């Protein structure tokens, strides 16, 4: 009896996996978590391709892909990590299908640019976010993302250096694992302000709790977000369709609303 049951179960499971179309697996940088889900829904309704995203830091996703994680597309929060995969022969940025973009095979496809903002809670006993807030002695703790690997953390440190504030603020910096955690440090009022992504600052939760100031773009190198196709993919056509879709004017406009700067 148990044997028959197991056999039946096994049959069901294998049928289920035969019937279900393998989804397009997208490895997506954590800053896309507030942005990507509705875009993937639209993608499915316009192409019939079901895509599933995994959100992690770009560094973690890179290490996973290096070790054979079954992703088809990697949407990084920078260009360095996807370039690393290309150089290792594990991914490529081959030209997008319908000739919309002329891209170099050996370079990631830039699909958006990130914006760095200074964010603080509205009820903090501090002046509203501005460059002056960064100079204020009332700022006791400033949260940033890990500058060793989080692109926004790198941008934050570059901006502080450009403002000649890095050495003065260094003892007051608290480093979070990623942008989302940096935002949590500030939203829980444990840090006074944070240098985070505009995508985070525009989420319903954070826009209700606080306000942001856009850090002038000339203060940090552009946060270019690059995409690559994982070489082992069995769904290259679908992967190209997704990149095309991301670069289409409608979706680029949507990215702009969520806090990413369009590249088109």
Partner 1 sequence: MDWQAFALSLRLATVTTAILLAIAVPLAALIVLGRGRWLAAVEALATLPMVLPPTVLGFFLLVLLGPRTAFGRGIAAMLGHPLAFSFDGLVVGSVIYSLPFAVQPLVAGFASVDTALVDAARLLGAGPVRLVSSILLPLARRSLLAAVVLSFLHTIGEFGVVLMLGGDIPGATRTLSIVLYDQVENFDYAAAGHTALLLLGLSALALAAVYATSQKRGRAGSA
The residue ranges that bind partner 1 (CB under 8 A) are 57, 59-60, 62-63, 141, 143, 146, 148-149, 174-177, 181, 184-185, 188-191
R_g over Cα of the chain? 21
What's the closest the beta carbon of residue 189 comes to partner 1, in angstroms?
5
Kindly state the tokens that stand for 110: 């830039």
Burial 38-69 (b: 16+ CB within 10 A, else e): ebbeebeeeeebebebebbbbbbbbebbeeeb
CA distance 158 to 43: 36
What's the closest the beta carbon of residue 141 comes to partner 1, in angstroms?
7
Q: Judged by CB, which is closer to partner 1: 99, or 171?
A: 171
Q: Judged by CB, which is closer to partner 1: 102, or 208?
A: 208
Q: Judged by CB, which is closer to partner 1: 14, or 190?
A: 190
Q: Judged by CB, which is closer to partner 1: 62, or 120?
A: 62
CA distance 224 to 78: 5
What's the closest the beta carbon of residue 240 comes to partner 1, in angstroms?
28
Q: Judged by CB, which is closer to partner 1: 43, or 119?
A: 119
What's the closest the beta carbon of residue 146 comes to partner 1, in angstroms?
7
CA distance 215 to 25: 34
192: number of CA atoms within 13 Å, CB side?
19
What's the closest the beta carbon of residue 176 comes to partner 1, in angstroms?
7
């Amino acid at each position: 009896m148990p044997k028959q049951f197991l056999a039946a179960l096994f049959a069901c499971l294998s049928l289920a996996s035969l019937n279900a179309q393998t989804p397009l697996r997208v490895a997506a940088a954590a800053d896309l978590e507030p942005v990507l889900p509705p875009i993937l829904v639209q993608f499915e309704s316009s192409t019939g391709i079901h895509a599933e995203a995994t959100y992690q830091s770009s560094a973690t996703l890179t290490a996973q892909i290096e070790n054979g994680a079954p992703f088809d597309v990697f949407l990084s929060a920078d260009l360095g990590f996807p370039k690393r995969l290309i150089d290792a022969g594990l991914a490529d940025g081959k030209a997008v299908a319908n000739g919309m973009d002329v891209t170099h095979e050996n370079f990631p496809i830039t699909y958006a640019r990130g914006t760095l903002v200074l964010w603080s809670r509205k009820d903090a006993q501090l002046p509203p976010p501005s460059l002056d807030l960064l100079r204020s002695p009332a700022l006791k703790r400033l949260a940033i993302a890990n500058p060793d690997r989080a692109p926004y953390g790198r941008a934050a440190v570059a901006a502080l250096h450009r403002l000649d504030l890095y050495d003065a603020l260094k003892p007051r910096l608290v480093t979070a694992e990623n942008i989302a955690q940096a935002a949590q440090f500030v939203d829980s009022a444990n840090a006074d302000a944070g240098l985070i992504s505009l995508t985070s600052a525009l989420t319903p939760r954070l826009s209700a709790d606080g306000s942001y100031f856009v850090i002038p773009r000339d203060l940090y190198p552009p946060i270019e977000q690059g995409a690559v196709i994982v070489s082992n993919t069995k769904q290259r056509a679908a992967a190209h369709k997704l990149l095309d879709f991301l670069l289409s004017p409608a979706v680029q406009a949507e990215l702009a609303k969520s806090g990413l700067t369009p590249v088109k």
